[in-house]
Amino acid sequence: MRHRTGRVEVICGSMFSGKTEELIRRIRRAEIARQTVQVFKHQIDDRYHQTHVKSHNGTGLEAEPVCEPQDILDKLQSDTTVVAIDEGQFFPPTIVDVINQLANNGIRVIVSGLDTDFRGEPFGPMPHLLCIADEVQKLHAICMLCGEDATRTQRMVNGKPADYDDPIIMVGASEAYEARCRDHHDVPRRNGH
């Protein structure tokens, strides 16, 4: 079933907020509606499986690992009506052009990813994707310290918050990250302090 018009849907939030779980839910609904779906993930994300998109709770679907946005276009099948992309923050800025091209060609594109990095700053192409999206869903986790809604991802190194000047990309799960609220998100050495 072809869509009359394409669209871009972005699912964002901190780690442990259920982004991939929501992506999987939307993919399954599209499959029930007999739409042809292709699922992609950045090859850097091999935490749970090399060729599957998996949520932290263990649910998953098969996905094609890619490195460059052009790889998505190269692997696109002619009958695909829905393209799902997990961990959008890991892609270079050209992912925005590829997603726009897909949507302009009548494909429904669903992207999930972290909107901010461990510093609490915009992450990769996600801010631009939020701007071009037809629909945005921002999910919240639970703060590991107080139980309030968490909107931040706290990177931990040896049990302490990571410094501001640590590398932006470090693939990990609960061993390296915690969900935190604004009040409990701590980034030592921000602004040189």
What is the arithmetic mean of pLDDT over 147-152? 97
Q: How far is 114 from 152, CA to CA, in rounded Å?
A: 9
**DSSP string for 100-146:** HHHHHTT-EEEEEEESB-TTSSB-TTHHHHHHH-SEEEEE-EE-TTT
Q: Is the pLDDT of residue 59 over 80?
A: no
What pLDDT, on the 0 to 100 scale, is given for residue 62? 86
Reported for 44-49, long-range contacts at CB under 8 A and 24+ positions apart, including other chains, are 44/87, 44/90, 44/169, 44/171, 45/86, 45/87, 45/90, 45/171, 46/171, 47/171, 47/172, 47/173
Q: How far is 177 from 154, CA to CA, in rounded Å?
A: 5
pLDDT band at 192 (very low <50, low <70, confident <90, very high): low
Query: Under CATH, domain 7-139 is a member of which superfamily?
Result: P-loop containing nucleotide triphosphate hydrolases (3.40.50.300)
pLDDT band at 160 (very low <50, low <70, confident <90, very high): very high
With a pLDDT cut of 90, the percent of the chain lying above it is: 77
Q: How far is 3 from 79, CA to CA, in rounded Å?
A: 11
The pTM (predicted TM-score) of the whole model is 0.89
**pLDDT tens digits, residue range 79-114?**
999 999 999 999 999 999 999 999 999 999 999 999
pLDDT band at 46 (very low <50, low <70, confident <90, very high): low
Residue 59 token pair = 């649910």
What pLDDT, on the 0 to 100 scale, is given for residue 4? 73
Catalytic residues: 87
- Domain borders along the chain are 7-139, 149-192
What pLDDT, on the 0 to 100 scale, is given for residue 169? 81
Written out in words, the top-level CATH class of the domain with range 149-192 is alpha beta
Average pLDDT, the chain: 90
